[in-house]
Structure 1
């Protein structure tokens, strides 16, 4: 099955070039190459925290928390399957250490995407969660023109300055970013700003001004979900006030991500902009709203092993 594992070794991707080239050469011309980037608390090779045994595996341990197979959700094993590349990087330790590692891993990701594009003659596509969004944006900022296609960031632990640098890079001339946000992630966004941002803002608040190639997708917004349902994608409503993982665990989202990545022409950003609300709901609006019957008061104690 077309699934490869890569680990960032500093600013270089550690990968078997022969195996990568063989997988790229065997892939049908219309099939996408999707690089999957995990977030905080994973570390490749770690017995308990290896992403290649968890969300980047075809068969993750069902006892592990939030153990949803990304490659299966993206179509590996189905008809017209993509080539999925699990991109692992050292994301354990303090948040400050992982933040620095994310920048180094982003340089390695840029090199990987450049190799894929050079061999394939087509850009790589990316899906990233949490602190993996900083990896993805750093990769976008450093990749050459034509190396990056559509990028999906889920509850991104990244800043507007990261986004600005990415959009100023040569790869951004042809790349597109779908920034998946939710008011369920407000607490995590606020903590990121408190610990790392000084006067910057997290991308969960959007990037502050419209930009070519960038779209904010507020999946907890009822207007957004209605627009997506009209396009054939019914997304479950949020059932928690606070959650960092609903952006990939909530029913209906991965079929949307798969379509966004596999067939960008079917859901162009211009179409989505016309249908989606112009302004997101303000921060804390979900936390401070009166309780709804389908909302749990809090997330509860989140497992500390993987995010």
Structure 2
């Protein structure tokens, strides 16, 4: 099993095991996948430690929707990839956790620079849920080109203007992003917009989509046409069973098969193939209003 736990304190990171030997043990052009939890987890609190729940190879309490990301990404099976579970303090008031996500993003950027300095050939994936999407995008915004290969955002709690800024960065211009959304998350998107002020009055969460941005693919998993597109490329998923769910972007059966393909360096065309198969993007109902035209900051 190739797994390392990393925790963020402020803007610094520390790994539970030496990182350099794990990196040097990887074969050429192998993958490193960094998994980033969202709100209500914290490595400071044993009862809510993400390394004991979704970021554990064993998973944790069903109360926490603790499907094991490492197990479903098969990072517990292969020596050809390295999984890094990134823990950060995401408890307390939502506004405070949202601010700390930017610091966690700075720490993640430093971690990725260390990875690339040790192994420039490494393929780097990021996968983050909810506020973990803010952490991933904040890290990408401050990185040089080719430091991030693919990013998977799951029900991301972030605004379009900040995502555009990340995509306009050197790292963003060389990365491919899969933005997984669903109408099941609408109430949480609205709650995020109410609790965490937007940078601009007419800004919207990334559930509204950024389909016009090169390298960015929006996938709304509750849309029948999108599920049909996944079927056509052999990556079908089940339809939704509930109306409200913040965790459907990783609980829905079939999705991790897609995520494994996205994280696989031997599948360089998976996201372009998916984008070609999807129907023409339309305005997301999750916005409940007009989507503004935003230019990269």
The 3 A distance-change label for structure 1 pair 81 and 221 is: farther
Supply the distance in 1 between the matched residues of 2:152 and 2:212 (Cα, whole angstroms).
17
Count of aligned pairs between the two proteins? 284
**TM-align CA RMSD:** 1.9
Q: What corresponds to 2:131 in structure 1?
A: 131
Supply the distance in 1 between the matched residues of 2:149 and 2:114 (Cα, whole angstroms).
14
Residue from 198, 202, 210 that aligns with 1:199: 202
Deviation at 1:263, TM superposition (A): 3.7
The 3 A distance-change label for structure 1 pair 264 and 240 is: farther
1:220-231 to 2 correspondences below 5 Å: 220-231=222-233
Supply the distance in 2 between the matched residues of 1:154 and 1:264 (Cα, whole angstroms).
22
Supply the distance in 2 between the matched residues of 1:140 and 1:264 (Cα, whole angstroms).
22
Decide whether the 8 Å contact of 2:53 with 2:64 is kept in 1: no
Decide whether the 8 Å contact of 2:30 with 2:265 is kept in 1: no
Q: What corresponds to 1:238 in structure 2?
A: 240
Supply the distance in 1 between the matched residues of 2:54 and 2:150 (Cα, whole angstroms).
20
Q: What corresponds to 2:73 in structure 1?
A: 74
Deviation at 1:11, TM superposition (A): 1.2
Q: Which segments of 5 or more consecutive residues in structure 1 lack a partner in the other structure? A: 286-307
Supply the distance in 1 between the matched residues of 2:24 and 2:207 (Cα, whole angstroms).
37
Q: What corresponds to 2:3 in structure 1?
A: 3
Deviation at 1:267, TM superposition (A): 3.8
Q: What corresponds to 1:92 in structure 2?
A: 91
The 3 A distance-change label for structure 1 pair 241 and 267 is: farther
Supply the distance in 2 between the matched residues of 1:264 and 1:242 (Cα, whole angstroms).
35
Deviation at 1:173, TM superposition (A): 2.5
The 3 A distance-change label for structure 1 pair 227 and 78 is: same
Summarize deviations over 1:74-113 as a string: whole Å, max 9, x none.
1123246521000111100101100110001000011111
Q: Which segments of 5 or more consecutive residues in structure 2 lack a partner in the other structure? A: 288-297
Summarize deviations over 1:228-282 as a string: whole Å, max 9, x none.
1121112010111111000000100011101111146354433222210122464
- Which range is displaced more, 147-156 or 74-83? 74-83
Where 2:267 maps in the other structure, the secondary structure is helix
TM-score normalized by structure 1?
0.87
Does residue 182 (structure 1) correspond to residue 185 (structure 2)? The answer is: no
